[in-house]
Amino acid sequence: MDCVFCRIIAGELPAKKVYEDEAFVAFHDIHPKAPVHVLVVPKEHVPRLFDYPDDPEGERKLGALFRTVNRVAREVLGLEGYRVVVNVGEKGGQEIFHVHVHILGGWR
């Protein structure tokens, strides 16, 4: 397994986890770009956001991903406002090819 996030999900690499359910995990970014910087990651290995199928199942998975982002940001991290970033594909600045949503916040 050469995917860093799959290895975190499998428990093979350490991470500062803040949330986990059957479909998602959230953990602190190792190089934080904000006072709070957490990544929400689906357990299913999908490389890029546009790899979700353009059908009802893809729509369900995207909805679940962003519902989880809101839950983690508000209920787990206690943020009232936050920035959400998804880098998509090499030309979009994506470095790890396993879908993840950045939650950035905690500014005063």
Q: Identify whether 98 is a catalytic site residue.
A: no
Residue 12 C-beta: closest distance to ligand AMP, Å: 11
Note whether 69 and 101 are within 8 A (CB).
yes
Q: What angle do CA 58, 60, 64 make, to 5 degrees?
A: 115
Note whether 102 and 84 are within 8 A (CB).
yes
Residue 81 C-beta: closest distance to ligand AMP, Å: 20
**Phi-psi region for residue 93, left (φ > 0), alpha (ψ -120 to 50) or beta?**
left
Site residues, ligand AMP (CB under 6 A): 4, 13, 15, 27, 29-31, 39, 87, 93-96
44 — phi, psi (to 5°)? -70, 135
Residue 32 C-beta: closest distance to ligand AMP, Å: 8
Q: Which residues are catalytic?
A: 100
